[in-house]
Structure 1
Amino acid sequence: MSVDSPGRLPLFLTDADVEKLADLRSAIDAIRAAYSTPVDNARNPGRIFADSGREWMRVMPSVPASGRLFGAKSINGSFADGLSVSYLISLFDRDTADLVALVDGNRVTGLRTAATTAVGAAALVPDRPLTVGVIGSGFEAQSHTAALALVTRFANVRVFSPTRGNREAFAERFSAELGVPVTAVDSAEQAARDVDLVLCAARSRDESPTVQADWIGPDTTVVSIGSTTPAQRELPADLIARATLVVADGVDEVVHGSGDMRAAVAAGIDVESITASLNDVVRGDREVDVERGIRIYKSTGSGLQDIVVAETLVDLARARGVGTELPVGIVTTRK
């Protein structure tokens, strides 16, 4: 066994560094490249959990087929004093196994989620100006609206969230940024009816669905990013029953791990027959009729998304001189 010193010392990116570097276009390009190559379970095994009841850790590893790096995001929580959570992404060189970077993953999660949604939605909507309904006005609603605007064309937008001031602030911001009418409305139903695209980005307090099936038109695209665990609900089962296609960033985790889909299965809906992977859709292995039928994009997130987006951040950091080069690295051994 021999021991090698790393060729270059690792880079550390803080949360502030990530905020400075975050670029939706670069993230979207990285996600599209990742899903344009074959995605398999051996490279992307899903979440690994460790849980004591007091402390818990969720690890999301990935060896992407695209890019130069591989690694994992760990989500680390403690209930010692309420709930405290931290996120860390570790990146390694595919050729040498050297540690390349440690990245605070707090903001990366939101960045990669919005970027992946943009890639998924772009494959499901027609190529014309769209009427859009947004349910929610917080961080996820804002980041997803900004990402969707980079891959689609908006004719107008309606937004609802329970707090009037928040939805009005959202409307004011995006009217200016998008250059199209953005209107704050008084109910989720007003936001969702008679639109081409519905973005669901607000979970209810009691985990009941935030839209109703009869609000959704027969040829509408629905983006659902707010129910990622078995207990969470965002879409009702009778809406999923009406769908002609559900596109999932990870089929197994969406079908078996999201509350929406589990409820649909429990209601007797053959969810698996209408569900396709984002990988198949992006690669053209599953055809999509973007004009007819209810098309749902459903996301639970994955380590693949975290790793490829974090790699773009590291590349931008090196190019711009952002981040802190660590004074030491870790040992890489040859065996």
Structure 2
Amino acid sequence: MPLTILSQAQLRALLLSLTKDEIVSLQENLARSLQDYSTGNQENGCSSAYQPQRTAITRRNGCTTLFMPASTGLTLGMKMISLQDGGTAGCAVAAGVDLPEVDKALLRSRGPRSSMASVSSEASEMSMSSQEEGEAGSSTTSSSTPSLPSGCVNKLPVNTGISGTMGAWPGAGSRDTSPQGSVTLLDGESLPFGLINAHELTPFRTALTSMMVFNKRKRVRTIVVFGAGKQAYWHIRLALVLRSAEIKRVFIINRSFERAAQLLRDIYAPENSSWRGDVKFSAVSNDFGEYTRVIHDAIHKADAIFCCTPSIEPLFPARLITAGEGRRKGRLISAIGSYKPHMTELDPDILREEINISHSHRHFHKHVKRSGVVVVDSLDAALKEAGEIIQAEVQPNQVVELGELLMVRHAGRDLTQEDSDSKSLREWVERGNVIYKSVGLGLMDLVTGGDLVQLARLRKIGTTVEDF
């Protein structure tokens, strides 16, 4: 059995060479696996019943290493990644939370039609705001907040005056926090066929998954990205590759001026012109004097918000989403950076507002109604590891897995005539408030990694050991 080895540089070269059609193909294959994961059907090799528990150890130096085994029924995988997060030394098995049996039966054996009943019933009452108004009219603060010019960091053009200020504000957000490690892939006979550096694979497969909901959104003119590392880069790149014609503005927000500037310089490199297009980019750090006003304007204009940081405190105030003007439009909010109970990129009040389905007598004109659920990649893992979910005290019946959502969407396409529940669900996914929280699955690395190994072999990329 030949073994294909992909180093960090080799994998990055492969990922940068992917066409839109190849990215879509990778995404569709991963989506099918996530659907199988959520069905609970043990005839499907990707089912959660076949996914072993992950284990974490933290060494005395504060470095946490995750061991993430996975299975598709045909292949096996083990991902080992380490992160410097200052944890307490020890070992923990990330077992699923102790859900009541009735909840497990409901969440693991329900059919596609009933699995999203709570979402459909809430979505049917949504009063959608007009999503076709111009960008200038989407926020009443836009007239009072100075607009950032295209390609700038803290109001400085990206190609002038930057180098002299690099490193002026070192510290938080100034280093690459992407996990280091590898993914080992085995075939049905447990023979290794792939060994991949995980430094680039992890952010790529995470962004590939986030784009599954992003692809369904009707309006994606303005995007806000928190972070300036590889997760931020791949979320921006895949969003533009998949929907560049519709995206007009991207805000990059990071604690470090230097890293925000570097990410913008990377995006403006000549070789990226094909996917960058005519999108206007602006980047800002917390040290910027007008930071509060800029982030207020950016959040209110945002159609999609991607949080890509290992933050232990909310990245922006909840009121920008939950109060007054913030309620006038639906947004996709994807939080993928935090992975421990004490971490939280989103204020728990944002999640509480979303899951609170008690009906008030107060009428909000043109305000988007709440769905009553938070979308996650894995129910068990999110309830145990996701700080936002835990701190907001989100209950199992207020969570729906992405695979379940994809199943219902697929079932709806097969109907000759869309019923009211399917229509309400579609409107919520396309225009409503959708909060997606991801903590990552070894299954994602196994499926996407296996596909990338096949592409690498076709393109003669990587190192192959013929008789390993």
Q: Do these two structures clear the TM 0.5 threshold for a shared fold by scoring above it?
A: yes
Is the Cα–Cα contact under 8 Å of residues 212 and 239 in structure 1 kept in the other structure? Answer: no
Tell which deviates more after alignment, 232-241 or 148-157: 148-157
Report the CA distance between 1:157 and its aligned residue: 2.3
Corresponding residue of 1:134: 225
Q: State yes or no: 1:19 paired with 2:124.
A: no
- CA distance in 1 between counterparts of 2:64 and 2:282 reads 42
- CA distance in 2 between counterparts of 1:163 and 1:56 reads 24
Report the CA distance between 1:52 and its aligned residue: 6.0
- CA distance in 1 between counterparts of 2:48 and 2:444 reads 14
Give 3-state SS (helix, strand or coil) of 2:36's partner: coil
> Amino acid of the residue matched to residue 209 of structure 2?
T
- CA distance in 2 between counterparts of 1:49 and 1:202 reads 20
Report the CA distance between 1:223 and its aligned residue: 1.0
Report the CA distance between 1:158 and its aligned residue: 2.6
Which protein is richer in strand relative to its size? Answer: 1
What are the residue-to-residue correspondences of 1:267-282 with 2, within 5 Å? 270-282=394-406
Give 3-state SS (helix, strand or coil) of 2:67's partner: strand
Q: What is the number of residues matched between the two proteins?
A: 309
Cα distance, 1:168–1:77 mapped onto 2, change above 3 Å: closer
Is the Cα–Cα contact under 8 Å of residues 35 and 283 in structure 1 kept in the other structure? Answer: no
Normalised to the residue count of structure 1, the TM-score between the two structures is 0.80
Tell which deviates more after alignment, 186-195 or 314-323: 186-195
What are the residue-to-residue correspondences of 1:30-41 with 2, within 5 Å? 30-39=29-38, 40-41=47-48
Report the CA distance between 1:178 and its aligned residue: 3.6
Q: State yes or no: 1:242 paired with 2:250.
A: no
Cα distance, 1:212–1:27 mapped onto 2, change above 3 Å: farther
Corresponding residue of 1:63: 71
Normalised to the residue count of structure 2, the TM-score between the two structures is 0.59
C-alpha root-mean-square deviation of aligned residues, in Å? 3.1
Corresponding residue of 2:79: 73
Cα distance, 1:311–1:74 mapped onto 2, change above 3 Å: same
Cα distance, 1:130–1:43 mapped onto 2, change above 3 Å: farther
Is the Cα–Cα contact under 8 Å of residues 235 and 260 in structure 1 kept in the other structure? Answer: yes
Q: Deviations over 1:243-292 (max 9, x none)?
A: 22311011121122111111111xxxx44333110100111179451355
Cα distance, 1:44–1:274 mapped onto 2, change above 3 Å: same
- The partner residue of 1:200 within 307, 319, 324 is 307
Q: State yes or no: 1:315 paired with 2:426.
A: no
* Structure 2 gap segments, 5+ residues each: 39-46, 87-176, 285-289, 355-370, 410-421
- The partner residue of 2:199 within 90, 106, 114 is 106
- CA distance in 1 between counterparts of 2:443 and 2:203 reads 14
- CA distance in 1 between counterparts of 2:261 and 2:278 reads 16
Report the CA distance between 1:38 and its aligned residue: 4.2
Report the CA distance between 1:104 and its aligned residue: 2.0
What are the residue-to-residue correspondences of 1:95-244 with 2, within 5 Å? 96-123=189-216, 125-126=217-218, 128-152=219-243, 153-164=246-257, 166-167=259-260, 170=263, 173=267, 177-184=276-283, 186-187=290-291, 188-204=295-311, 207-216=312-321, 217-218=326-327, 219-243=330-354, 244=371
- CA distance in 2 between counterparts of 1:121 and 1:75 reads 27
Is the Cα–Cα contact under 8 Å of residues 237 and 260 in structure 1 kept in the other structure? Answer: yes
Is the Cα–Cα contact under 8 Å of residues 309 and 337 in structure 2 kept in the other structure? Answer: yes
Report the CA distance between 1:203 and its aligned residue: 4.0
